[in-house]
Structure 1
Amino acid sequence: MLFKKNMTYVHSLLVFSVILVLIKISEAGYSSYLSSVVRKCKRESGVGDELIHLSMMGKFKPDIDFKEYLYCFSKKVGLMNYDNSMKNDKLEHMAANILGDYSLAAHIREDCDNTLYDTLNTVYYTFKCYITRIREALLDDRMTSEEIEIDLRPYRKRHHRY
């Protein structure tokens, strides 16, 4: 799978890979649409590139501008219902496509499904949870392959319930 072979690509585009699952447009249209959504949401929220980049690496900061950016992005790409709740079925489907494992994606959905917060915090914590869990699963998968020789397991936090 392309995503598993090139972890840098996955880390860089994990948040934005949701678009591929949600909309049916050509590759050129995808890039153009994605660029316009990112630009518009960055402008509307005032978020800096550094916070977006850090989040793609799994390092989240609870900055209000970043939360507004995620909210804007989620609305524009169809990850939210009209009542501002997350479309977790779409996020689960995206996770399953990236991981190639529907059972694991269902576990991630259970762990990441929350409505305990206001809208901005719900979006923030949902994205944080999905990205963290997908990255952990991809790292676990790479640990079982022969591609990595260094054992990173003692240094990672594990939050698996299965």
Structure 2
Amino acid sequence: MKSFAFVLALTFVVAVYGLTEEQKEKIKAYHKDCSASSGVNQDLITKARKGEFVEDPKLMEHLFCFSKKAGFQNEAGDIQTDVIKAKLGAEIKDSATVDQLIKKCAIKKATPQKTAFDTIKCYYESTPQHISLA
């Protein structure tokens, strides 16, 4: 699926069916920018690509950076449910399924970084197929 919300599961793994080259390039650019600004250990990204999400502050910062760039969270860390819903809805034609996924995964936590981390992890665990972009 090309939905950017799944791309959120994301920075590293994406359920990709018909993702355009432009979208792939944006994702790679977001990853590169966020890696540089967060200083995340690339081994943690490799693990996340395989579904092993280590609760590391730099990884969490990386995911928050990506989430902001994708429009899923604003600068304050608030979840942008309408953006997520619109992007998910473009791929998942069943609005009840979209609403369920958002209700399950897009939950505000104590910090914006923890929100991004947990949301991405939940999307990863809740989507059936993942293809590495890097």
Shift of 1:56: 2.8
Of all paired residues, the percent bearing the same amino acid is 23
Shift of the 116–75 alpha-carbon distance from structure 1 to 2, 3 Å rule, reads closer
Higher helix proportion: 1
* Cross-structure match for 1:77: 70
Shift of the 49–96 alpha-carbon distance from structure 1 to 2, 3 Å rule, reads farther
Does residue 102 (structure 1) correspond to residue 95 (structure 2)? The answer is yes
> Out of 104, 112, 126, which is 1:133 matched to?
126
RMSD of aligned C-alpha atoms? 3.2
Is the 1:85–1:119 contact (alpha carbons within 8 Å) kept by the matching residues of 2?
yes
5+ residue gaps in structure 1? 4-10, 19-26, 139-162
Instruction: Determine the C-alpha separation between the residues in 2 that align with 1:33 and 1:129.
Output: 22
Letter in 1 for 2:58: D
Q: Within 5 A, what are the aligned runs for 1:1-162?
A: 3=1, 14-16=9-11, 17=14, 27-97=20-90, 101-135=94-128
What is the TM-score normalised by the length of structure 2?
Answer: 0.69
Instruction: Determine the C-alpha separation between the residues in 2 that align with 1:43 and 1:130.
Output: 24
Letter in 1 for 2:34: C
Shift of the 56–106 alpha-carbon distance from structure 1 to 2, 3 Å rule, reads farther
Is the 1:12–1:57 contact (alpha carbons within 8 Å) kept by the matching residues of 2?
no
Letter in 1 for 2:104: D
Letter in 2 for 1:15: L
Shift of the 134–102 alpha-carbon distance from structure 1 to 2, 3 Å rule, reads farther
- Structure number, greater radius of gyration: 1
Instruction: Determine the C-alpha separation between the residues in 1 that align with 2:80 and 2:94.
Output: 19
Shift of the 82–12 alpha-carbon distance from structure 1 to 2, 3 Å rule, reads closer
Shift of the 88–131 alpha-carbon distance from structure 1 to 2, 3 Å rule, reads farther
Instruction: Determine the C-alpha separation between the residues in 2 that align with 1:76 and 1:36.
Output: 10
Q: Which has the higher contact order (CA 8 A, sep 6+)?
A: 2
Is the 1:114–1:122 contact (alpha carbons within 8 Å) kept by the matching residues of 2?
yes
- Note the alpha carbon deviations across 1:107-145, whole angstroms, 9 max, x for none: 11111232231111111111111221123xx5xxxxxxx
5+ residue gaps in structure 2? 130-134
Is the 2:85–2:98 contact (alpha carbons within 8 Å) kept by the matching residues of 1?
yes
